[in-house]
Amino acid sequence: MLTGGEMHALVERLYPLCRSITGDGVRQTLAIVGEHLGLQVHEVPTGTQVLDWTVPQEWNIRDAFVADASGRRVIDFRASNLHVVGYSVPVDETMSLAELRGRLHTLPESPSWVPYRTSYYSPTWGFCVAQDVLDALPEGDYHVKIDSTLADGSLTYGEHVVPGEVSDEVIVSCHVCHPSLANDNLAGIAVAVSLAQQLAEEKPHFTYRFLFMPGTIGAITWLARNAEHVDRVKHGVVLACAGDRGSLTYKQSRRGDADIDRVMAHVLKDKPHEIREFSPYGYDERQFCSPGFNLGVGSLTRTPYAGYPEYHTSADNPAFVSPEAMEDTLDTLQTAFAVLERNRRYVNLSPYGEPQLGKRGLYDSLGGRSDAKEAQLAMLWVLSYSDGEHSLLDIAERAGLPFGAVATAAQALQVAGLLKE
């Protein structure tokens, strides 16, 4: 399992790659992820119908610049891949600064930052530049070149599966379509890699499927190709913005009361957090939660979508994310999945009156424990509500007890012959 420092190092390694919704940058990213996880990489050809969408042409870029009359690059793709509008068509022209201005995107409110812009489905071209740089450009002619290709190819995504005792699945999805943006979503990729490694060491109950896909079109493609088996997905989390220093934010599934929604609320209650209701805007939870699928998939971020000034700018760099924040995101997911793993329903095998716990050694086992009272209460609550209708999470919420205490009590009672799953 990657440590916080190792997750941050992975972010730094992935950061320079020019990713988009298709192309070699995605393949290079998946190749690096594949050094840590066994990854099945899928290539879906241009033109493939996926639900109401069509897989687009593949975009790749080799170089791009705006050069002044002396040949000096005043805007340079080699310095930052954010300088080119994603999916820009090829161009090789000379034009005046006045003509060029209409193709330049800036952030006047943050004049030293370069914005991130794309135009996936409307062929055009453009550059992104710091307002300070644009303000310093003299009038005159400029050589403008984008050495890119937009041609039939494929959409690329990767899957890693951690087998479980059952075929019911938990999915963890993160997008791999952003170029040099560290928090959105390289930190999510790094946390997902570490989480998958940790789960593989534990031989989990559920099967865990990790999806590394371009945003929107990637999730739609995966859903189209797996529509017949999507009922196996019982829980899921879309992971993004996983490394900034803000507190955690969980966005509920469209259902609002899916198991993952309740588990995340239970896990987050003891730390600073925000829980938001579902809205059809954000990351790929909106695809998994679309009415036809309506899966129990929420979204976990730190500062949420578009909620921090650095979002979709050059300021979202490796210095913006911290090992400690990624570790906290990882720990939260580990804790949540541990609840999912242990959240079962039981039947009290001695339901007529309170069974005598002392003669079964259950009280003796608590002697000297600092949490003896809590453990005893947990046993009584589990016995009272183990009627086949209430899950352990139901009991923990009803009793106001930590889930771990309730699950431990259930295990002890089962060993003593008082409960049956």
Written in H, E and C, the secondary structure of 75-112 is: EECCCCHHHECECCCCEEEEEEHHHHHCCEECCCCCCC
Q: Are residues 388 and 277 in the same domain?
A: no
Backbone phi, then psi, for 96, in 5-degree steps?
A: -75, 160
264: its two tokens:
């995340």
* Number of residues that make up the chain: 421
Q: Are residues 77 and 130 in the same domain?
A: yes
**CA–CA separation, 274 vs 264, rounded Å?**
11
Please tell me the pTM assigned to this model.
0.95
**CA–CA separation, 182 vs 336, rounded Å?**
24
CATH of the domain at 138: 3.50.30.90
pLDDT at residue 359 in the model: 86
Write out residues in the chain with pLDDT < 50, as ranges. 367
pLDDT at residue 7 in the model: 98
Of 297, 323, 341, which residue is a domain's last? Answer: 341
**CA–CA separation, 192 vs 151, rounded Å?**
31
Q: Within a 13 Å sphere around the CA of 392, how many CA atoms are in the beta-carbon half?
A: 25
Q: Are residues 131 and 219 in the same domain?
A: no
Q: How far is CA 220 from CA 70, 137, 284, 296, 412, in A?
A: 47, 43, 9, 16, 44
Q: Which residue type does 65 have?
A: F
**First and final CA of the chain: distance in angstroms?**
32
pLDDT at residue 370 in the model: 58
3-state class of 275 per DSSP? Answer: strand
| Domain ranges, residue 325 | 4-56+154-341
pLDDT at residue 366 in the model: 53
Of 84, 118, 151, which residue is a domain's last? Answer: 151
pLDDT at residue 339 in the model: 97
Q: Are residues 367 and 238 in the same domain?
A: no
Q: Are residues 88 and 134 in the same domain?
A: yes
Q: Are residues 134 and 145 in the same domain?
A: yes
CATH of the domain at 374: 1.10.10.10
Q: Are residues 231 and 273 in the same domain?
A: yes
Residue 178 is labelled as binding a ligand: yes
pLDDT in tens, 116-149: 999 999 999 999 999 999 999 999 999 999 999 9
Residue 36 is labelled as binding a ligand: no
pLDDT in tens, 300-344: 999 998 999 999 999 999 999 999 999 999 999 999 999 999 999
Of 307, 341, 375, which residue is a domain's last? Answer: 341
Residue from 250, 231, 83 nearest 167 by CA: 231
pLDDT at residue 299 in the model: 98
pLDDT at residue 326 in the model: 98
Q: Are residues 29 and 170 in the same domain?
A: yes
**CA–CA separation, 92 vs 70, rounded Å?**
17
Q: Are residues 39 and 24 in the same domain?
A: yes
Q: Are residues 181 and 87 in the same domain?
A: no
Contact 66, 108 (CB under 8 A): no
Give the count of domains, the chain.
3
Q: Are residues 313 and 190 in the same domain?
A: yes
**CA–CA separation, 293 vs 135, rounded Å?**
49
The answer for residues whose C-beta is within 8 angstroms of residue 106's C-beta and 6 or more apart is 115, 128, 129, 130, 131, 134
Q: Are strands 233-239 and 297-301 parallel, antiparallel or unpaired?
A: parallel
Residue 229 is labelled as binding a ligand: no
CATH of the domain at 186: 3.40.630.10
Q: Are residues 172 and 142 in the same domain?
A: no
